[in-house]
Structure 1
Amino acid sequence: MDDPVLRLDRICKAYNVGLPSETKVLHDIDLTLKRGEFLALMGPSGSGKSTLLNIIGLLDRPTSGHLFIKGQDTALLNDAALTRLRGHTIGFVFQDHHLISAFTAVENVLMPLLVDREFAGPDIVVKANALMARVGLAKVADNRAMNMSGGQQQRVAIARALAMSPDLLLADEPTGNLDTQSAGGVFDLMREVNRESGTTILMVTHNLDLAKRCDRIVDVVDGRITA
């Protein structure tokens, strides 16, 4: 249980490197997430949280430093290998659920499984429906996403993020567009998944009350970890 799912070693990120307009966004970020940990990432707007999340999610590469996922140095991987690692190891939940509104809830959950050939087969529908039940939406699995409430849509997004059984779940302001009651329900669901499945979760949030319910809080200010 002490094996780190994620380790960042002196991660830096700059844009327009070598030009007069060069902008340094992240400075020597060191961070480790143990298996089963639930971490809240906080900081003011423009502090570098989104850039850091994109790097952790393998959507962007750092300018320097090393990012390890389950012990694998991602700097040694080409784009195809990064895509494969991301698809099988990392799940994403965003502030905007990014569901396909014309599809049903369970069809949205099916999408990652259909895209990945290794998981294609008759059992994927069973798995998708099991995930809908896992997030408390079995009775509305066949409802179109556009006809669901914001809280329900975010639960579907969580089910979709869990479709590939990721080791690491990245949640970017997952409750930001929800009312207090719905936000609490979505957080409770993520906490339940974390405790029951051992899924490591990193959640970016401005909600201090929810952050205090996580295992640890990390503050980012001006591209540096301050606490």
Structure 2
Amino acid sequence: MDRPAADTPIVHLEGIRRSYNIGLPSEIEILHGIDLDLHRGEFLALMGASGSGKSTLLNIIGLLDRPTAGHVFINGIDTASLDDSAITRLRGHAIGFVFQEHHLISAFTALENVMMPMIVDRNGGSDAIRARALGLLAKMGLAHVGDNMSSNMSGGEQQRVAIARALAMQASLILADEPTGNLDSQSADNVFDFMRQLNRDEGTCFLIVTHNLELAQKCDRIITMADGAITPA
């Protein structure tokens, strides 16, 4: 996959609309003409009340859903021109996901969980894949738990393993949906600090959905949604 120009936004949204139940009396438009750019090295918070459209927007940015109207560009590629298999490949290489629930595979070790996206992409493991996974765990301060079963780790450790897994494919964008929502305050601070350090060290763009204003205020920029639109800064 060709590398985009340095000044190309990772995400460029033009006039994004998303409706459900199209053509039915119950048709409703959730997103109303969203324009948004996300750039390399940014560390952003996405905030808004329940029902404001945050999850719908995140699904569109993450290529899990397609807009009803408008264009989604990822690393300069207009995704409207891609079929489903191409969308899946672009998502796998450009975007990583971290959720409130870590979704680790409990039967696997921490190291195996981080290796898994690379093994699936390349149809097998290798020393290089193992080395990258070990390096990511080390960056997350988890070099000592690589052989631990994920079910035997603390919530904060599990979430850091999930972040390492999201970075495995060298994604340029990490979408984090309430990544500290299930953690105690100390673990939440630690996870946030590790994400921030990765952002600074590797230039990975983070978009973090959160209801925690204190956490959001530590980000470079807060994007606020209300009633399916982005509110002026």
Normalised by the size of structure 1, how large is the TM-score? 0.97
Gaps of 5+ in 1: none
Partner of residue 83 from structure 1, selected from 69, 88, 94: 88
C-alpha deviation, 1:127, in angstroms: 1.0
Deviation readout 1:186-216 (Å, 9 max, x if unpaired) = 1101110111100011110111111111110
Q: After TM superposition, where is structure 1 displaced by more than 2 Å over at least 4 residues in a row? A: 118-122
User: Does residue 1:30 correspond to 2:40, yes or no?
Assistant: no
After TM superposition, list the pairs within 5 Å mapping 1:198-213 onto structure 2: 198-213=203-218
> Structure 2: how far apart are the matches of 1:98 and 1:130?
21
User: Does residue 1:3 correspond to 2:2, yes or no?
Assistant: no
Partner of residue 179 from structure 1, selected from 184, 187, 191: 184
Normalised by the size of structure 2, how large is the TM-score? 0.95
Q: CA RMSD in A?
A: 1.1
- 2:22 maps to which residue? 17
Gaps of 5+ in 2: 1-5
C-alpha deviation, 1:3, in angstroms: 2.6
SS of alignment partner, residue 27 of structure 1: strand
> Structure 2: how far apart are the matches of 1:3 and 1:203?
21
Letter in 1 for 2:65: D
Partner of residue 121 from structure 1, selected from 119, 126, 133: 126
> Structure 2: how far apart are the matches of 1:143 and 1:8?
41
Letter in 1 for 2:217: K
Letter in 2 for 1:44: A
- Give the length in aligned residue pairs: 227
Calculate percent identity across the aligned residue pairs: 67
After TM superposition, list the pairs within 5 Å mapping 1:100-179 onto structure 2: 100-117=105-122, 120-179=125-184
C-alpha deviation, 1:122, in angstroms: 2.6
Once structures 1 and 2 are overlaid, which stretch shifts more, 140-149 or 112-121?
Answer: 112-121
> Structure 1: how far apart are the matches of 2:123 and 2:147?
25
Letter in 1 for 2:101: D
SS of alignment partner, residue 143 of structure 1: coil
Deviation readout 1:117-159 (Å, 9 max, x if unpaired) = 2785331111111111110011111110011110000000000
